[in-house]
Chains A and B, each alone.
Chain A
């Protein structure tokens, strides 16, 4: 049973560029959430997708956008990259019940130079 798969694992981008990160949820999960984790901090909620719609959004600017596909996989897009966007981006999937919590992927380490 595959867990959450994220790609790529590492990425280096230049300020002002755009980036797309990808996530395949755990088998049986229909909800995908994205989190940003700066070094030494707890993950911060970006947004959640369910039934191909953004269901809830955290305090992130419109430069952060996403998409969910019919097969429940998801993309996170960040435009006009800033140095401060350098972080570990985590995808988490879940199903209707939270008894088993969220399943996190290994993340994409984004470095903006």
Chain B
């Protein structure tokens, strides 16, 4: 079955530093979704990427979908303490999400 892998597993940064998490799928994805889960919270939808090579920005967050539609990345510019949480990439479909293990981001103020 489809497997989604994320690296790194953990990332600790100083506030103001940039952060990137990478996602790789064992199979070609029809789309990829990104979610953020704050400590003690639940996943919250960030974005969906559908097209090969697609790049989307949300303020300080930049999402990319690879040309082969098997990998993706999330880059945060100038992290803030509010960015703390686990970022999950998911292979998405109308029927299910296949989550990676996530990248836990901690930010030192």
Query: Could you tell me which A residues sit within 8 Å of B by CB distance?
Result: 31, 33, 35, 41-45, 48, 55-56, 58-59, 90, 92, 94, 96, 98-107
Residues of B within 8 A of A98 (CB): 31, 33, 48, 92, 94
Q: Kindly identify, within residues 92 to 109 of chain B, every residue whose CB is under 8 Å from any CB belonging to chain A.
A: 92, 94-102
Q: How far is the CA of A42 from the CA of B46 in the complex (A)?
A: 16
The A-B contact count (CB < 8 A) is 58
Across the interface, do B48 and A107 meet the contact criterion of CB distance under 8 Å? no
Write out the residue numbers on chain B whose beta carbons fall within 8 Å of the beta carbon of A90: 42-43
> How many residues of chain B get a CB closer than 8 Å to chain A's CBs?
23
Given A42-B88, A90-B42, A90-B43, answer yes or no on A102-B95 (Cβ-Cβ < 8 Å).
Answer: no
Question: B34-70 interface mask toward A, CB cutoff 8 Å, 1 = contact, 0 = none?
Answer: 0100000111111110000000000000000000000
CB distance from A81 to the nearest CB of B (A): 22
B67 CB, nearest partner CB in chain A, Å: 22
Given the complex of chains A and B, what is the CA–CA distance between A41 and B6 in angstroms? Answer: 12
CB–CB B99/A100 < 8 A:
no
